[in-house]
Amino acid sequence: MQFRWKSVTAALLIGAATFAGANAVDRGLTRPWPGWARAAWAGGLILGVLAALFLLLTGLGVLTDEALSETGDPSSLHRGKTTVGVFITVYVATLVTAVALALGLESLYDIQGEGTILVFCGAMFLLASTGKPWWLYETIRRVRWFAFIERDAVMRAVLAVIGAFCIAGGVLGKVT
């Protein structure tokens, strides 16, 4: 395990700044701002938390190219392609897409945002259960608790079940 002081220090500083920004929201300092500014502030807070988390994980040596290559299915065709950059990009892009979709559908069609996020995440799990695109399946495959599943068929079945439950929860959830 490789410890990187600069990454850990940056993670703590970004985490503290994000906490201070969230505290400003709690005190009502952003209330008079226009809606677009508050949305940008909220997006910045979310990205700050993600940046701090990923910097902390890489600084502690948990999230490295070597650690990712040690997990998952050893017979995978794309075993060496899942790098930290791909891993972070997939998760950040998924989060940003889910939140943007939820906000858009809630404001345009009055569809519950939490349900939209659940359905979107369920669809991503179902898509990953097909094994295509490889970057989505392999990124999920590298998460430690999924990496313990050795057989590819079992992994795909687990992803399909999780996806189905997420979609059912999003569709059958309380509509306000």
Using one digit for the tens of pLDDT, what is the confidence trace for 54-104?
777 777 776 666 655 555 555 554 455 556 677 777 777 887 888 888 888
Q: Are 47 and 92 within one domain? A: no
Q: What is the pTM of this model?
A: 0.59
Residues 22 and 88 grouped into a single domain:
no
pLDDT exceeds 90 at position 137? no
Same domain, yes or no, for 53 and 70? no
Average per-residue pLDDT for the chain: 79
Q: How far apart are CA 96 and CA 109, in angstroms?
A: 19
Which of 40, 63, 86 terminates a domain? The answer is: 63
- The set of residues, in sequence order, having a beta carbon less than 8 Å from that of 49 and lying 6+ positions away, is 15, 18
